[in-house]
Structure 1
């Protein structure tokens, strides 16, 4: 298949396996969830009644004082332990390389079908000025949450986008499913397309 290059009469030949794949919602959901879970610290920790500081001596006599209670470390008391205490754990999910690459291809293919994938010959800013980047993006009509993908993101481009809260800049190595799914549109250079094709083929 061929991708239209914005601002040029030329077209870019690409693999159907990467940019013409059927969309698999289940696979993309699984990979997105696994990617987000991999970023979770999993360090939450609470104490059980056996771990809190305090005596385990019976707080009052068994009879004659109303309700019958044992140690004040019980969960019903302020400062007592937690009944089902959270402990540090890993949220990591197993996703093999083939699944991950298939999900990225599926997302890119769906973006292309929806007209949200725009290919340009090159995309660069002369200096690290946010104003210059805003002007270039406004002329391309990329929506409120654009993602710019280049073969190797330059320092000027990265610094120019840093003050724009909904503009993401990634090189091919830093591309991930969560960023792709969250973008209104993706602006990608021809060199980056070829590098992605090599990666996912």
Structure 2
């Protein structure tokens, strides 16, 4: 299959297995969830009634004072422990390399079917100017949340996009499923397409 190159009469031949495969919603969902979970710190911690700072001495007499109770470290008292206290843990989910690559290819294929991939010959900026990047993106009609993928993200491009909250710049090595799924459209250079094909082959 071939992808049309924006502002050019030529096309770019690409692999059917990467840009034309069937979309697997279950696989993509599993990989996206696993990727996001891998970024979670998992450091939340609470104290049980045995860990809170306080005496375990019986707070009042057993009889004659209303409800009977022992230590004030119990969960029903303010300052007491937590019944099912959260402890630090890992949220990591195992996703093998084959599944990860298949999910990336599945997302790229769906973006291509929806016409949300714009292939360009190059995406270089002569100077670090946010205004220049805005004009370039406006000409491409990429929507509010574009993802720009180049072979190796140039410094001028990265710095120009830094002040734009919804514009992301990635090189092929930094491409991930969450960035692809969250983008309105993906602007990708021809060199980046070739590098992605080498990666996912």
Please state which band the TM-score falls in when normalised by the shorter chain: over 0.9
CA distance in 2 between partners of 1:135 and 1:119 (Å): 17
CA distance in 1 between partners of 2:168 and 2:200 (Å): 22
CA distance in 2 between partners of 1:36 and 1:185 (Å): 21
CA distance in 2 between partners of 1:55 and 1:146 (Å): 58
Q: Note the C-alpha offset of 1:39.
A: 0.2
Q: Does 1:54 align with 2:33?
A: no
Map of 1:42 onto structure 2: 42
CA distance in 1 between partners of 2:82 and 2:166 (Å): 40
- List per-residue Cα deviations over 1:92-131 (Å, max 9, x = no partner): 0000000000000000000000000010010111111100
Q: Note the C-alpha offset of 1:164.
A: 0.3
CA distance in 1 between partners of 2:194 and 2:151 (Å): 9
Q: Note the C-alpha offset of 1:9.
A: 1.0
Map of 1:175 onto structure 2: 175
CA distance in 1 between partners of 2:33 and 2:21 (Å): 21
Normalising by structure 2, report the TM-score: 1.00
Equivalent residues in 2 for 1:66-81, closer than 5 Å: 66-81=66-81
- List per-residue Cα deviations over 1:14-43 (Å, max 9, x = no partner): 110110110000000000000000000000
Q: Note the C-alpha offset of 1:63.
A: 0.2
CA distance in 2 between partners of 1:179 and 1:47 (Å): 37
Map of 1:121 onto structure 2: 121
* SS of structure 1 residue aligned to 2:90: coil
* SS of structure 2 residue aligned to 1:149: strand
Q: Note the C-alpha offset of 1:147.
A: 0.4
Map of 1:193 onto structure 2: 193
Q: Note the C-alpha offset of 1:77.
A: 0.4
Map of 1:136 onto structure 2: 136
CA distance in 2 between partners of 1:108 and 1:156 (Å): 26
CA distance in 1 between partners of 2:20 and 2:98 (Å): 17
Normalising by structure 1, report the TM-score: 1.00
Map of 2:109 onto structure 1: 109
Any stretches of 5+ residues in structure 2 without a counterpart? none
Map of 2:84 onto structure 1: 84
Map of 1:8 onto structure 2: 8
* SS of structure 2 residue aligned to 1:165: coil
- List per-residue Cα deviations over 1:43-78 (Å, max 9, x = no partner): 000000000001000000000001101000000001
